[in-house]
Amino acid sequence: MTDTAVGPVRAHADGPARADEQHPTTRQPGMVQLLDEHGVRHHDPEHDLDLTPEELRGLYREMVLMRRFDSEAEALQRKGQLGLWAGSRGQEASQVGAGRAARRQDQLFPSYRDHGALLARGVDPLHILSIFRGIDHGGWDPVEMNVHPYTLVIAAQMLPAVGYGMGVQRDGAVGTGDPDRDTAVVAFFGDGATSQGEAAEALNWAAVFNAPVVFFCQNNQWAISEPVSRQSPVPLHRRAEGAGMPGVLVDGNDVLAVLSVVRSALDRARAGGGPTFVESFTFRMGAHTTSDDPTRYRLAAEVDAWREKDPIDRLRTYLTAEGLLDEEFEAELAAESEALAVRLREGVSAMQDPDPVSMFEHAYAEPHPQVTAERDEFLAAWEQHDADLHAGPHGGDA
Amino acid sequence: MTDTAVGPVRAHADGPARADEQHPTTRQPGMVQLLDEHGVRHHDPEHDLDLTPEELRGLYREMVLMRRFDSEAEALQRKGQLGLWAGSRGQEASQVGAGRAARRQDQLFPSYRDHGALLARGVDPLHILSIFRGIDHGGWDPVEMNVHPYTLVIAAQMLPAVGYGMGVQRDGAVGTGDPDRDTAVVAFFGDGATSQGEAAEALNWAAVFNAPVVFFCQNNQWAISEPVSRQSPVPLHRRAEGAGMPGVLVDGNDVLAVLSVVRSALDRARAGGGPTFVESFTFRMGAHTTSDDPTRYRLAAEVDAWREKDPIDRLRTYLTAEGLLDEEFEAELAAESEALAVRLREGVSAMQDPDPVSMFEHAYAEPHPQVTAERDEFLAAWEQHDADLHAGPHGGDA
Amino acid sequence: METMAIGRAINAGLRAAMDRDPRVLLMGEDIGALGGVFRVTDGLQKDFGEDRVVDTPLAEAGIVGTAIGMALRGFRPVCEIQFNGFVYPAFNQITTQLAKLRARSRGRLSVPVVLRIPSGGGIGSVEHHSESPEVLFAHTAGLRVVAPSSPHDAYWMIQQAIASADPVLFLEPERRYWQKGEVDTELAPGQVTPLHKARVLRPGTDATLVAYGPTTKLALDAAETAAQEGTELEVVDLRSISPLDVQTVAESVRRTGRLVTVSEAPTFHGPMAELAARIQESCFYSLEAPVKRVGGWHLPYPAARVEEHYLPSLDRVLDAVEQSLAA
Amino acid sequence: METMAIGRAINAGLRAAMDRDPRVLLMGEDIGALGGVFRVTDGLQKDFGEDRVVDTPLAEAGIVGTAIGMALRGFRPVCEIQFNGFVYPAFNQITTQLAKLRARSRGRLSVPVVLRIPSGGGIGSVEHHSESPEVLFAHTAGLRVVAPSSPHDAYWMIQQAIASADPVLFLEPERRYWQKGEVDTELAPGQVTPLHKARVLRPGTDATLVAYGPTTKLALDAAETAAQEGTELEVVDLRSISPLDVQTVAESVRRTGRLVTVSEAPTFHGPMAELAARIQESCFYSLEAPVKRVGGWHLPYPAARVEEHYLPSLDRVLDAVEQSLAA
Ligand SMILES: Cc1ncc(C[n+]2csc(CCOP(=O)(O)OP(=O)(O)O)c2C)c(N)n1
Ligand SMILES: Cc1ncc(C[n+]2csc(CCOP(=O)(O)OP(=O)(O)O)c2C)c(N)n1
Ligand SMILES: [Mg+2]
Ligand SMILES: [Mg+2]
């Protein structure tokens, strides 16, 4: 794969050479990159993609809104409106790129931090926040949206993702050539997840059955406090070799590269070409969650270095240099961000706690006498203590 | 790695070229082989090894005895003296080679078919047969013999093997240069086992912690009724790449090659060089166990083709051609085999069923009141029904 | 009416379900050409093809995990776990995904997966082949756990399990696979006993014996023996561990005043503990003796040559009955 | 006497054990620099080094499996499972290897591994962080299962668990990590309550309340409230789920005639079923009311905003006591 700044793409004022010396980690041999951290566009015949100005601005807009969503959620957590927040700052290019690459019929199996991919699919952001408020485990309809519920058990969504793909095969929805029928699956997971035995089984099953699955690994360098070196002595995309499928390393802070790589992998899967492993090399800029304290285990310098590679900044630089962003667009986007923030704040504070008795509704599809009995017991006590509230002796919890 | 029939090693009368046409599967590119199926010795500077006539005869003897052990056990099962037998015919070179490669202090974690490795270590064969008679789960002392109990849960011995290696590291018994102190671990497993998530975890942990472990995978082409193609689309030794350790493919019917490859891998591990994955390419000549019926799922032709590659035959051919086997040796070995068979038959029929109450002894090291109470209940009933046997109304099981 | 062994009846039930619904498929190790180690899927791959009878890689988490995914895509996978002791690699998928997906999605997702597990001992096997782990699943909300004890039930219950919108653990009594009995394959849906209903197999007045799966025959044998000594035991086949049909058992106990339970599963923290706890509550004033439980000991299942001393025996059951009657 | 929170007391107990025995080591995710998500291992890697406080890859089977191997080599590993809901990937190693190696080797192998698991809910967490899976382990022969409820017990019981030659599941009450209390760190070995002995925390005459781990405080609160209404409840802290100290509970029940149990673990097929089954047997003639159980519902643990309705509450405990007294 070649990788040079040529053709219609202007060399950036700073010049890539000098920049590479400053930030040696960005460019890796074999890493697909179309837009470097200085906003310089690079050509790669194998992975290049042609986007209209509209599409480029669309990606930019989505990343900006995703970041605003994230910071607003973090603020809501700080104000006690959410119980917890798993931030996605720094991973905008990865998530928006992968989310945009998927077609509407492609089934997404996200982890718990893949907000950008869900927003790209059109999931209502409030349906994500309800999880972190403790209302439910995801407000969206997984069938309608083709988005599986967030999975918190590390790697546990991967085998179901493969099975879904095996189902797609049995439905004859692979390799027909009909772009609206052929269907693929994206399994989202992190660097830490690659250590789980189930992750290895998922890769193997997909390879054995040639299932239409793209394994999208966001290597954000950390699994809570553990650096990726604790998960693997070799680059993660090399796991693909052992499993017998192509492995691609992509600059996860470059939305163009991610979009291109994931799109190709999905096309291949839909055409019946089988699974691909994509390692999206990125960084978790914030804490693991709002419960985490990263000062205990990582240096500010590392975060600072990655700030230089910010996915949004580089796209803005590029679009600006190309004359594709104007003040009007920026102003509109700022207003849209504000509106989103207001909607999130209002939406969250308007959220109703679920009716307690609803917890009894969905454990089983068909009646389970013990659950029914417990529900009746619960309801009786509930009514009783509603009455007691006015006259009764005890109330409240321990 | 070069691979030519040259130097002090005579070309076999049949000539390797013609033979290779007949049996194209034996020689694989990248497969270490020192003795081909026609008994022709090949040179391989990287893997060659110098054995004395005594040592060569010793390997031959051990393989012959191992095969006799196996066929005797099978016969004992047929006669109802054993409940089950997991045969090892065809895998003599793999197991004797790996077993001989290990030093006495190296810890073996066998699966359930690795009889040859145990015999090479000096485990009493009757201590293996007691498992299949239903007496115990292995009669040998795992601490004294440095041989873990047979593990029947596929791949479940692999993580403990790695942990043992991590313990060895913490004991400072790696890389000291003292050949009697430095210690490695051999984890034995099959082709089917590579599909288990735990197998992948074991490889990864060993790589991450640089543990002194040799992963010895006997690819005998079948996991019960499933061919290895159902476990993996790529050759098994390539799993090593994904895990970040060297992977070696060796002719598992060539005891010299196995001995050489495993010995080097163990030396490397003991020296602190970390883990190695060895795929020993062999064949399960018999049924999976005596409960199995391979005619349901594989063709006789496949078995016949592999019979041509028999590990014992080829060594006999070579030794004979080299003038290293004489009639006296063969006669002694035949007598030794007979004596072994007699010892096995007598030993098995002399085996005492365990005292039933002994099952209560070892669930816990320290008293567990519920177990104690159950033991007392059992003993009381036992004594009661002993008495009833003479006078009582009911007895026997359902 | 046809006479079949239990293993054969499950095979016939699977075939009927596959004939009826093209989205039913089977997954497992060695279930294709071999027909499974107990031959329960014998002939099905030949007739339904490799896409519907899938020989899988050797990975139980993989089997259950991908079955979940197939169910999400609208299939109804029936997984064979080769032996009871090999279900544990799949535990994470069963517990955190299979059992919970409906609740996690507030009813929007259905995962109608059936896990068939040959269960219990008594066939002289090596380790890990003779265990009775049912309570681990019965305690896990979202799962159903059933255990047929006769060919007729085996034939129908496997079809009911497949038809259920909930995931079902289907425990097959290993040592009874070859036990023969009459199967009425012609019943209309309404005539089949509901999946989770216990069944009184033998009426009696002196004490109630409750069993399921492999111990049901033992309970019947015990009742027969006791009858010869003039004691009339009522035998209830529980058939389901989750949910529990406490009502049927309680009605019996209210009549007999005494309850003895029999399971191969270890007694300690085992499935009959729940039944005992519920019966002592619902029949507090009818019980004339404490509930007695006969089950496996709190030990790893022992070597084959000792298993007869581990498993509930006729002696142990009759002893417990005697103690109950004497109380 | 020192005042400590439960989390801190476990930290101190681990430190004491590591000081005493160089073969004690800790393994788990994020237990090093971070000190664990609950900070229970805070500072230990700094003081004992990376070889004895091992940040592991993200794989629970790996943690338990390699811990078994280290134990076979003579170490005493203490593993942290980050949260209760994440123990399941390790289930195969726990059930088929850890629990059985002693029996399989007829006593020749010892695997003195401790698994620390933050357990139970009540801290407003997202899914999988609030479960009480103890019965799954208690039913598994070869394992011991204990649950401290106070800083003093936490400090000593973790050391006893580490000293035990058997594998021990050590359940830490998540919502009580910050609960403070007095710890007497100066006791001589013989003065420490044996690991598996239940303890009467409050004497009473009208009924016995049994709890463990996180519900012990709830039981004490209930007894306090009941006392204001003139009802004297005896509170027993079980401390151990396997083995069960049935004797201590039975002695209490023989005095009070009534038993109410309280656990966060779901009632159905849960740990208190065994206690109820044993007490109805051993106290058949002393019980004046059926044993009542208060526990989690048979549902996947619900979303945080509903968990207070899932967990046993003071109201539910007092209701059960009232019912028991009225029977
Ligand atoms: C099976 C399991 N074990 C442990 C955890 C606790 N845990 C939550 S997130 C996390 C780190 C995950 O790291 P990674 O896969 O890199 O994803 P990231 O958080 O970086 O997006 C851990 C250990 C879990 N959720 N599931
Ligand atoms: C976890 C687990 N699942 C299933 C089985 C049943 N089983 C026993 S042996 C076997 C095949 C093993 O194949 P392989 O690893 O190639 O070893 P081989 O028997 O060929 O030596 C299977 C599926 C088992 N023992 N353990
Ligand atoms: Mg990460
Ligand atoms: Mg094999």
pLDDT at B60 (0 to 100): 98
Tell me which residues of C are annotated as active site: 129
Three-state secondary structure call for residue C34:
coil
Contact check, Cβ <8 Å, D306/A353: yes
Closest CA to A110 of A145, A81, A70, A148: A148
CB A153 near ligand 1, within 6 Å: yes
pLDDT tens-digit series, residues C61-85: 999 999 999 999 999 999 999 999 9
C99 in contact with D, Cβ within 8 Å: yes
CA distance C115 to A387: 46
pLDDT band at A12, cuts 50/70/90?
A: very low
Residue of chain C nearest A358, judged by CA positions: C106
What pLDDT, on a 0 to 100 scale, did the predictor assign at position B297? 98
| Distance to chain B for A223, nearest Cα, Å | 15
Cβ atoms A259, A227 nearer than 8 A: no
Give the residue-averaged pLDDT of B330-344: 98
Which ranges in chain D belong to alpha helices (H)? 6-20, 44-48, 60-72, 91-92, 101-104, 134-138, 151-163, 215-228, 246-256, 271-282, 307-310, 314-326
Q: Determine the Cα–Cα distance for residues D168 and C124; give it in Å rounded to an integer.
A: 31
Give percent of chain B with pLDDT exceeding 70: 91
Note the pLDDT tens digit of each residue in C161-220: 999 999 999 999 999 999 999 999 999 988 999 999 999 999 999 999 999 999 999 999
Q: In chain D, what are the helix, strand and coil shares in percent, each to the nearest 5?
A: 40, 20, 40
* Count of residues making up chain B: 398
pTM of the model: 0.96
Kindly report the nearest CA distance between residue C125 and chain B, in angstroms.
7
Q: Which chains touch C (3 or more CB pairs under 8 A)?
A: A, B, D
Q: Where are the beta strands (DSSP E) in C212-284?
A: 233-237, 240-242, 259-266
Closest ligand 2 atom to the C-alpha of C30?
A: 23
Which of D244, D269, D293 is best to mutate for the C interface (most C CBs within 10 A)?
Answer: D269
Query: Scanning every residue of chain A, which has its alpha carbon at the shortest distance from the alpha carbon of D85?
Result: A153
Pairing verdict, β D2-5 and D180-183: antiparallel
CB contact (8 A) between residue B137 and residue D65:
no
CB C115 within 8 A of CB C167: yes
Q: Rounded to whole angstroms, how far apart are CA atoms B151 and B76? A: 22
Residue B383: per-residue pLDDT: 86
Residue B386 — very low, low, confident or very high, per pLDDT cuts 50/70/90? confident
Average pLDDT, chain B: 92
Q: Is A357 on the interface with C (CB under 8 A)?
A: no
Q: Can you give the pLDDT at residue A98?
A: 98
On the question of pLDDT at C103 being above 50, the answer is yes
Model confidence pLDDT, tens digit, residues A350-388? 999 999 999 999 999 999 999 999 999 999 998 887 777
Q: Average pLDDT for residues D43-58, to the nearest whole number?
A: 98
What is the structure's pLDDT at B389? Answer: 65
The share of chain D scoring above pLDDT 90, in percent, equals: 98
| End-to-end alpha carbon distance in chain C | 44
Distance (Å) from the alpha carbon of B1 to chain C's nearest alpha carbon: 33
Q: Atom 11 in ligand 2: which residue has the minimum CA distance?
A: B223
Say yes or no to pLDDT of B339 above 80: yes
Residues of C within 8 A of A153 (CB-CB) are: 92, 96-97
Chain C within 8 Å of A127 (Cβ-Cβ)? no
Q: Do B231 and A208 touch (CB under 8 A)?
A: yes
Residues from chain B that touch C125, judged by Cβ atoms under 8 A, are: 83-84
User: Quick check: CB of A191 below 6 Å from ligand 1?
Assistant: yes
Per-residue pLDDT averaged across A11-38, rounded? 60
Residues in contact with ligand 2 by the CB-under-6-Å rule are B 113, 152-154, 190-193, 220, 222-224, 284, 288; C 29, 58, 60, 82, 86, 89
In chain A, what percentage of residues exceed pLDDT 70?
91
Query: Average pLDDT of chain A?
Result: 92
Test A138 with C105 for CB contact under 8 angstroms: yes
pLDDT for the residue numbered B18: 34
Q: Is the dihedral of CA C40, C129, B137, C315 positive or negative?
A: negative
A149-166: pLDDT as tens digits:
999 999 999 999 999 999
A–B: how many Cβ contacts below 8 A? 68
Given the residues A68, A121, A288, A314, select the one marked as catalytic: A288
Q: State the average pLDDT over residues D257-271.
A: 98
Known catalytic residues of B?
284, 288, 297
Q: Identity (one letter) of the amino acid at A180?
A: D
Kindly indicate the confidence band of residue A29, based on its pLDDT and cuts at 50, 70 and 90. Answer: confident
- The residue among C305, C317, C321 with the most chain B CBs within 10 A of its CB, best to mutate, is C305
Interface of D with B in 105-134 (CB under 8 A): 105-110
Give the Å distance between the CA of B219 and the centre of ligand 4: 6
Q: Residue B191 above 70 pLDDT? A: yes
Scanning A26-85 for CB atoms below 8 A from B yields none
Residue D60: CA count within 13 A, CB half-sphere? 26
Is the confidence at residue A235, as pLDDT, over 70?
yes
For residue B98, the distance in angstroms to the closest alpha carbon of chain C comes to 24
Any idea which ligand is nearest the CA of D95? 2
The Cα–Cα gap between B68 and C263 comes to 43
pLDDT recorded at residue A389: 65
Predicted pLDDT at A24: 42
Percent of chain C exceeding pLDDT 70 equals 100
What residue's CA is closest to ligand 1, atom 3?
Answer: D86
Q: CB distance B359–C55 less than 8 Å?
A: no
Choose among C139, C270, C280: nearest Cβ to D291: C280
DSSP output for D25-89: EEEETT-STT--TT-TTTTHHHHH-TTTEEE--S-HHHHHHHHHHHHHTT-EEEEEPSSGGG-GG
pLDDT score at B391: 59
**B393 pLDDT above the threshold of 80:** no
The amino acid that residue B206 corresponds to is A
Secondary element (H or E) of residue D195: none
Interface touch B205/D75, C-beta < 8 Å: no
Distance D305 CA to ligand 3 centre (A): 28
Which pLDDT score is estimated for A390? Answer: 61
Chains that touch A (3 or more CB pairs under 8 A): B, C, D
**CA pseudo-torsion sign B260, B96, B309, B266:** negative
- Report the pLDDT value the prediction gives residue B28, as an integer from 0 to 100: 73
pLDDT band with cut points at 50, 70 and 90 for residue D91: very high
C-alpha Rg value of chain C to the nearest Å: 19
Instruction: Answer whether residue C22 shows pLDDT above 80.
Output: yes
pLDDT of res. B384: 82
Give D115's pLDDT tier (boundaries 50, 70, 90).
very high
| Cross-chain Cβ contact D300/C91 below 8 Å | no
Residue B5 has pLDDT above 80, yes or no: no
CB contact, 8 Å: B238 with chain A? yes
Which of D52, D39, D265 lies closest to D145 in space, CA to CA? D265
The active-site residue, picked from D128, D129, D196, D309, is D129
Q: How open is the CA angle D63-D66-D70, to the nearest 5 degrees?
A: 125
CB of A367 within 8 Å of a chain D CB? The answer is: no
d(CA C97, CA A109): 13
What is the reported pLDDT for B382? 85
Contact D281 C290 (CB under 8 A): yes
Cα separations (Å) of A233 from B216, C115, C296?
Answer: 21, 37, 46
Instruction: Tell me: pLDDT of B398 over 90.
Output: no
Check pLDDT > 80 for residue D118. Answer: yes
Residue B389 near chain A (CB below 8 Å): no
pLDDT at A13 over 90: no
How far apart, in whole angstroms, are the C-alpha atoms of residue A222 and residue C58? 31
Please compute the mean of the pLDDT values over residues C35-62 and round it to a whole number.
98
Distance D136 CA to ligand 1 centre (A): 24
Which residues on chain C are in Cβ contact (under 8 Å) with B358? 306
Closest CA of chain B from A253, distance in Å: 24
Other Cβ atoms less than 10 A from the Cβ of A145: the count is 18
DSSP state of B218: E
Query: Looking at CA atoms only, how far is residue B102 from chain D in angstroms?
Result: 18
Mean per-residue pLDDT for C9-29? 98
The arithmetic mean of pLDDT across residues D29-46, rounded, is 98
Q: Tell me which of A154, A158, A289 to substitute to probe ligand 1's pocket, judged by most ligand atoms within 8 Å of the beta carbon.
A: A154
- How far apart are the CA of A152 and the centre of ligand 3, in A? 13
Q: Are A277 and A243 in contact (CB under 8 A)?
A: yes
User: Is some CB atom of chain C closer than 8 A to the CB atom of A137?
Assistant: yes
Q: For position B396, what pLDDT does the model report? A: 39
Task: Flag whether pLDDT at D172 surpasses 60.
Answer: yes
Structure tokens belonging to residue C41 = 């899927």
The chains in contact with chain D, meaning 3 or more Cβ pairs closer than 8 Å, are A, B, C
CB A206 within 8 A of CB A214: no
A152 lines ligand 1 (CB under 6 A): yes
* Candidates C92, C109, C242; nearest CB to A198: C92
| D134-158 per-position pLDDT tens digit | 999 999 999 999 999 999 999 999 9
